[in-house]
Amino acid sequence: MSQFWSPLVRTLTPYVPGEQPKIAGLIKLNTNENPYPPSPAVMAAMHAVSADALRLYPDPDSSALKQTLAGYHGVQPNEIFVGNGSDEVLAFAFMALLKHSAPLLFPDITYSFYPVYANLFGIDYEEVPLNDAMEIDIADYAKRECGGIIFPNPNAPTGIPLPLQKIEELLIAQPNAVIVVDEAYVDFGGETALPLIRKYPNLLVVRTFSKSRSLAGLRVGFAMGNAALIEGMERVKNSFNSYPMDRLAVAGAVASYGDDAYFREKVQAIVDSREQMTQELQQLGFTVLPSRTNFIFARHPTIPAEQLAAGLRERAIIVRHFKHPRIDQYLRISIGNPEECKLLVQTLALLTR
């Protein structure tokens, strides 16, 4: 605390990201990073950026990246917003689209950055409990007065997806609220709401390069939606930072989309490992929620999750444990490469014997 802090800063409780320890040989399954490197084309494209180009400011509109994304996803460039990671894209969505007199709604168990943004931007919010199956029930959101709704699909940290039809029911029930669907994990088997953006002007779909494209370190995210929603976000961005996307990030991100075969192969490898690890943990007695992401959310019937997390850590494996009362019996385990998955399962077998 300092006398120089503004009154707002005094009230903030910042988001705490999963730790990034610098321990050699650590098996890091705590932040849902991709175990595989990005396509070699990504590094090649970044190497090809000249020093002289870096002397100059980048394109404030990131047109090259928007063109690439537009072509791949079948939308227009003015239906795309790009930012420095989807966390930043979400921040712009909160500022531009989610602050209204009625409260913002999101699940009680979800990405814990949402309440942090709401507090930072002075947005009133209400948490809507997941049902007993740990699913988002659209009926709980359909009839409530609200200024906006946001959730990940699939949800995090549960990994459970919502079908497209449920998203459409919600869009029909809440035509006057902006509905943000955070699709950080959709490439691992979820159903995207993208086909609905032309039909529903209140839908914003948010994506990231951090998980399925192995580029958490590059910081690239984007949103797709009606051009008027995007324009609102651009107004905020252009009142804050003209150049959130640097030249290297744009070059790398464009190249990632240029190597679709690599992308599909690595996503499939992770999905295969997820299915195998799910079965193996079930054989050890764990309950594993049905994940369509690159992580699983699992609970042991008797041994406390905190104890398991500590036991794993002693053996240089880190996973995520949340102290939230509803989920403190669960571990969130990111899907690693086959060798890491094998070691994780072997170590849990040891700890639960």
Ligand X SMILES: *Cc1c(COP(=O)(O)O)cnc(C)c1O
Binding site for ligand X (CB under 6 A): 32, 85-87, 111, 152, 156, 182, 184, 208, 210, 216, 221
Pairing of strands 203-208, 178-182: parallel
Q: Answer yes or no: are the C-beta atoms of 130 and 297 closer than 8 Å.
A: no
Nearer to ligand X, 135 or 343 (CB): 135
CB of 110 to ligand X, least distance (A): 8
CB of 83 to ligand X, least distance (A): 8
Q: How far apart are CA 51 and CA 66, in angstroms?
A: 23
Nearer to ligand X, 123 or 351 (CB): 123
Nearer to ligand X, 170 or 180 (CB): 180
Those residues with Cβ within 8 angstroms of residue 144's Cβ, 6 or more apart along the chain or in another chain: 105, 126, 128
Pick the closest to residue 117 from 136, 93, 146 (CA basis): 93
Question: E strand or H helix at 125, and its extent?
Answer: strand 125-128
CB of 104 to ligand X, least distance (A): 16
CB of 184 to ligand X, least distance (A): 4
Nearer to ligand X, 86 or 174 (CB): 86
Six token digits for residue 224: 């797709």
Nearer to ligand X, 331 or 345 (CB): 331
Q: How far apart are CA 81 and CA 180, in angstroms?
A: 13
Nearer to ligand X, 152 or 345 (CB): 152
Nearer to ligand X, 117 or 280 (CB): 117
CB of 280 to ligand X, least distance (A): 24
Radius of gyration of the chain (CA): 20
Six token digits for residue 334: 């990111």
Nearer to ligand X, 202 or 208 (CB): 208
DSSP 3-state of 103: coil
Burial of 103 (0-12, 13-18, 19+ CB in 10 A): middle
CB of 287 to ligand X, least distance (A): 22
DSSP 3-state of 117: helix
Q: How far apart are CA 205 and CA 191, in angstroms?
A: 12
Pick the closest to residue 347 from 275, 280, 293 (CA basis): 280
Q: Answer yes or no: are the C-beta atoms of 340 and 319 closer than 8 Å.
A: no
CB of 169 to ligand X, least distance (A): 22
Six token digits for residue 298: 């699992």
CB of 207 to ligand X, least distance (A): 8
